[in-house]
Amino acid sequence: MVRFQALAVILGVLCVPLLAADDEALDPAGLNPSARCNQCHLEIYSMWKRSMHGGSSTDPIFETSYLRAYAEAGEKARNFCFRCHAPGVSLVKGKQAGELFRAEGIPCDYCHSVVSVDLQKRDQPFTVKLDGIKRGPLRDAESPVHEVARSPLHETAEFCAGCHEYTNGVGVPIFSTYTEWKGSPQAAEGKTCQNCHMPLTPGATVRPGLGSDRKSINLHDISGGHSRDQVVKAAKVRIINVRREKASTAAVEVEVANVGSGHSIPTGLPTRKIVLEVILFVDNREVRRFERQYQKRLLDDSGNVIVLDHRTLLNAHKVLEDNRLMAGERRIERFSGSVPGKGRLRVEAKLTYVYQPEIILRQQMSIEMTSDTYTP
């Protein structure tokens, strides 16, 4: 029965359209659907709409993981998952409003109504004030539609930490991106999450004719591990040395480095990993293949390694190991193995970001029920 209830909840997420009309007025004392922000903030809304934040509750990876979590934990999973993936749900009343904000993911008005973050409040670190004031980093912004307040909080890593830092009830750090950043060279230089994930880009804060002459806006697609551009600039691999130790043994030294990320790589869900693959050739014939993986691995209370996303959040009991590359870290990896006694050595090395989430797929089920044939 629980599984069918979970499916019904997920289908609600899949099927709900955005209910707000673009021409509705802002509600100064309520949480506004993002479509209302589009009336003035066209470019920012368009970025948000295609972002992982805009699709945080309808992304197929989340949908699948949430379905599994709900089947195992019921309303506990709903409350826990929606805290970050559909935070507007807890702030509105009524079924229709709840369905709207369930489909919205992380709405514009939610982030711009946050007034404080307290990471000690694990179940709900954000304090949100729905008072008609829209908060953000701009120092001299004005609007004829709503009040605007400059918020230094929106320029800090703490603002992001409310969702990207989580230690469960038994003390296991599931997400530790914020802590990783605090020990990074980027943090020492004064760079925050926003510098990399929301940099300034050419664009207009509001539609033409609405009075603003700003020529740049913060990027609101907030690209991260789902972005190839972000992933490929995070790390480097370099072959340092290849030599024969003996006539029939070769040794390889490879440097792997986190050169572009202000946190450990990979960060976020512990089911993500980076794989170093080193291939040794003799006279262009592959003779040896080595592999090393970089990952945080968690155990459940039975000592089993957790391999499913939702169980890292529901069942983690202990960190088995964490050998990920910290921000700014350079690590030398050494490999050796037997090779033919003669021939020219050649080595290839590559780093690959690997994530294998479950995704719901639609497949046709076809059963021939009966048939008939007539031959004259």
Tell me whether residue 376 is in a domain: no
Strands 133-136 and 147-150: parallel
31 and 142, same domain (yes or no): yes
CA-wise closest residue to 5 among 103, 60, 78, 62: 78
251 and 199, same domain (yes or no): no
Per-residue pLDDT for 9 more than 60?
no
Tell me whether residue 43 is in a domain: yes
**Residues 291/359, Cβ–Cβ less than 8 Å:** no
292 and 200, same domain (yes or no): no
Q: Which CATH number do you get for residue 288?
A: 2.60.40
Tell me whether residue 334 is in a domain: yes
Tell me whether residue 162 is in a domain: no
205 and 301, same domain (yes or no): no
Residue 141: per-residue pLDDT = 84
What does pLDDT average to over the chain? 90
201 and 289, same domain (yes or no): no
Tell me whether residue 333 is in a domain: yes
Report how many domains make up the chain.
Answer: 2
| pLDDT level of residue 20 (50, 70, 90 thresholds) | very low
148 and 212, same domain (yes or no): yes
70 and 209, same domain (yes or no): yes
Residue 29: per-residue pLDDT = 85
Tell me whether residue 166 is in a domain: no
202 and 54, same domain (yes or no): yes
Percent of the chain at pLDDT above 70? 94
Residue 362: per-residue pLDDT = 82
Strands 345-354 and 114-117: unpaired
Residue 3: per-residue pLDDT = 38
208 and 108, same domain (yes or no): yes
Residue 1: per-residue pLDDT = 37
Residue 48: per-residue pLDDT = 96
CA distance 102 to 373: 52
Tell me whether residue 176 is in a domain: no
pLDDT tens per residue, range 45-76? 999 999 999 999 999 999 999 999 999 999 99
Tell me whether residue 173 is in a domain: no
Which of 11-20, 88-97, 228-237, 297-306 is least confident?
11-20
309 and 271, same domain (yes or no): yes
Give the range of the structural domain holding residue 301, as residue numbers without chain letter.
Answer: 228-354
Average pLDDT estimate for 301-314 = 97
Highest mean pLDDT among 3-7, 138-142, 255-259 belongs to 255-259
Average pLDDT estimate for 15-20 = 37
Residue with the larger pLDDT of the pair 298 and 30: 298
130 and 111, same domain (yes or no): yes
CA 371 to centroid of chain Cα atoms:
51
CA distance 243 to 241: 7
CA 350 to centroid of chain Cα atoms:
23
pLDDT tens per residue, range 177-211? 999 999 999 999 999 999 999 999 999 988 887 77
Question: How buried is residue 67: exposed, middle or buried, by Cβ count under 10 Å (0-12/13-18/19+)?
Answer: buried
213 and 330, same domain (yes or no): no
Residue 23: per-residue pLDDT = 58
Residue 254: per-residue pLDDT = 98
Q: How far apart are the first and last CA of the chain?
A: 52
Residue 43: per-residue pLDDT = 94
- For the chain, what is the largest distance between any 2 Cα atoms, rounded to a whole number of angstroms? 88
The DSSP-derived string for 166-234 is: EE-TTS-EEEEHHHHHHTSHHHHTT--HHHHHS-EEE--SS-TTSS----EEE-SS---TT-HHHHHTT
| pLDDT level of residue 12 (50, 70, 90 thresholds) | very low
pLDDT tens per residue, range 219-263? 999 888 888 989 999 999 999 999 999 889 999 999 999 999 999
